[in-house]
Structure 1
């Protein structure tokens, strides 16, 4: 299946999950038909072209997505398509990514951001998060190569930073490494592998 054909309106559709659709390329038809869509999951759909969804979807609040190489070149789709998004969960399926996120990739409306299984990412970029003035929770899980935090500091609005199964960054936080700790110490709660260190 390469596309979803919708013959009429879907005004009551709120959640939608697309899982393991290896050939699926577009959800633009669903976009138009479901103006009240609030919760969208697109997982393990490596050929999906999210840049072709058309007009911004203002009702969407939660997005969970697998982040494949195909999406890297058009990653700014997140900020252009989901202007009211508050919760974003990204599974890192991109093998070439070394740092995340770039400036302008994420919508300023985010309140919660989860980065999971970014196997090759080494650096968390503060510049790509600085404009997230409503961000309250940042979860980093299963990022074995993640060790650095570049930039001034994480957003001032951040209340909770949770780091799980990311030993390099977790250890630097636990040791209050002078190159890392000043960038996160303003956060009210810092948890590393189920233990609060701040």
Structure 2
């Protein structure tokens, strides 16, 4: 792999990198547009020394030892879509400068990423879609915290956050472009705290979140005034308004 291969645009790697903690193969493909990496358990870092200016989509799943992708972050200034699943050691908060091109970010079952959520507002200035799935620290019962999320968000999904008991209106109030909010598989979530959810919302979806879903369907007086302005409210695939 001493040379550069300019024609390749998509690269898929699975169950590889067994002998190397540092992965540097991407340098050989300067025109990559899409990269997917699965199940590389021993890979601790992705090292890139050349520009990947064409890279738009990056998917990383079940790379349990992966801690750093900071050089890739800097080498891919046009990255738009990032999905990270099951990378429990990954930390994006030390990636350096804010990433203005990223539009879609999905974080699933990445404990360190979830617990470092406050970095999102400063790192992702143009983010429009965010999905956070999986565990926060057990002490985190009220989400999202004020100032965590970037103001550019248009769509937000909170899924399988088992510790969350209260949805914070204050943490969403600054999201004046937010149109859709989905809450899925959050069994302890039962209340909404604050004045009301953002006026810009046009759709609220609640799936397998029994306590909150039931209170919404019953138009509980402690909940309903905070969501009644939303044109479409769906609970477990049933439209209630």
TM-score bracket for this pair, using the shorter chain length? over 0.9
Looking at structure 2, the residues matched to 185 and 67 of structure 1 have their Cα atoms a distance apart, in angstroms, of 32
SS in 1 for 2:45: coil
SS in 2 for 1:64: strand
1:12 aligns with 2:19: no
More contact order relative to length (CA 8 Å, sep ≥ 6): 1
Once the two structures are TM-superposed, the CA of residue 71 in structure 1 deviates from its matched residue by 3.6
Counterpart of 2:176?
133
Looking at structure 2, the residues matched to 125 and 68 of structure 1 have their Cα atoms a distance apart, in angstroms, of 22
* C-alpha contact 1:22 1:47 (8 A) present in aligned 2: yes
Once the two structures are TM-superposed, the CA of residue 66 in structure 1 deviates from its matched residue by 2.5
Instruction: Summarize the alignment of residues 4-83 of structure 1 with structure 2, pairs less than 5 Å apart.
Output: 4-66=46-108, 68-71=110-113, 74-83=116-125
Instruction: Summarize the alignment of residues 77-92 of structure 1 with structure 2, pairs less than 5 Å apart.
Output: 77-92=119-134
* C-alpha contact 1:67 1:94 (8 A) present in aligned 2: no
The 4+ residue runs of structure 1 with deviation greater than 4 A are none
Unaligned runs of 5+ in 1: none
* C-alpha contact 1:100 1:128 (8 A) present in aligned 2: yes
Counterpart of 2:44?
2
Once the two structures are TM-superposed, the CA of residue 72 in structure 1 deviates from its matched residue by 5.1
Larger Rg: 2
Once the two structures are TM-superposed, the CA of residue 73 in structure 1 deviates from its matched residue by 5.0
Looking at structure 1, the residues matched to 136 and 204 of structure 2 have their Cα atoms a distance apart, in angstroms, of 23
Looking at structure 2, the residues matched to 133 and 71 of structure 1 have their Cα atoms a distance apart, in angstroms, of 25
**Which sits farther off after the overlay, 61-70 or 7-16?**
61-70
Aligned CA-pair RMSD: 1.2
Once the two structures are TM-superposed, the CA of residue 95 in structure 1 deviates from its matched residue by 4.5
The CA deviation string for residues 167-186 of structure 1, in whole angstroms up to 9 with x for no partner, is 10000000000000000000
* C-alpha contact 2:114 2:132 (8 A) present in aligned 1: no
Counterpart of 1:157?
200
* C-alpha contact 1:95 1:119 (8 A) present in aligned 2: no
SS in 2 for 1:76: helix
* C-alpha contact 1:152 1:183 (8 A) present in aligned 2: yes
Counterpart of 2:143?
100
Unaligned runs of 5+ in 2: 1-42
Once the two structures are TM-superposed, the CA of residue 48 in structure 1 deviates from its matched residue by 1.1
* C-alpha contact 2:163 2:188 (8 A) present in aligned 1: yes
> What's the TM-score once normalised by structure 1's chain length?
0.96
